[in-house]
Amino acid sequence: MKASIHFVVSVLFIIGFKVYAHQNKKHTESRKPHVTKEKLESINNLYSQAIQPIFKNKCLDCHGGPSQFPWYHRLPIAKQLMDDDVREGKKHLDISSGFPFKGHGSPLDDLKAIEKVVKERTMPPMRYWLLHWNCRLTKKERLAIVTWVQQSKKILREGL
């Protein structure tokens, strides 16, 4: 009798633990999207219609484009800061050609990073838009970018 109670308790314990462990498992890892050329192409189509013009104006200077520096780039400290930004920015994300972007992230990583900086309004960096007032993203532009990111993530996950 005692042994069977012990058995039942152990089984329940094991089941309970498995359910618990399963809940804690990161599902995102097992659901890595299967990236195909077609998916990337349709994301790039959406990108070039709606997003590329925004990125060209507001992001490209530091993310892979030929930098068009303002006059104060000639001042020693400003030059140093700007050159650092351009080097760092390009390393993180290079948007000089279409999607998928160059840089160190996978397409999904890049989309997530873009969504994050746009929602948190951390790009362009503040030190930059303090000087170029009109380089900040407008509300409309932020909405367009986030919508594109969401459409693109869906395409990556679920196909066309």
Angle 121-52-145 (CA atoms, 0-180°, nearest 5)? Answer: 35
Residue nearer to ligand HEC on the CB measure, 20 or 133: 133
Query: Contact positions toward ligand HEC, by CB under 6 A?
Result: 58-59, 61-63, 85, 88-89, 92-93, 113-114, 117, 123-125, 128, 137
Of the candidates 116, 125, 119, 141, which has an alpha carbon nearest to the alpha carbon of residue 88? Answer: 125
CB of 160 to ligand HEC, least distance (A): 25
CB of 142 to ligand HEC, least distance (A): 9
Distance separating alpha carbons of residues 141 and 148, to the nearest angstrom: 11
Distance separating alpha carbons of residues 119 and 149, to the nearest angstrom: 11
CB of 27 to ligand HEC, least distance (A): 22
What does the block give as tokens for 24?
């804690």
Residue nearer to ligand HEC on the CB measure, 35 or 78: 78
Residue nearer to ligand HEC on the CB measure, 53 or 125: 125
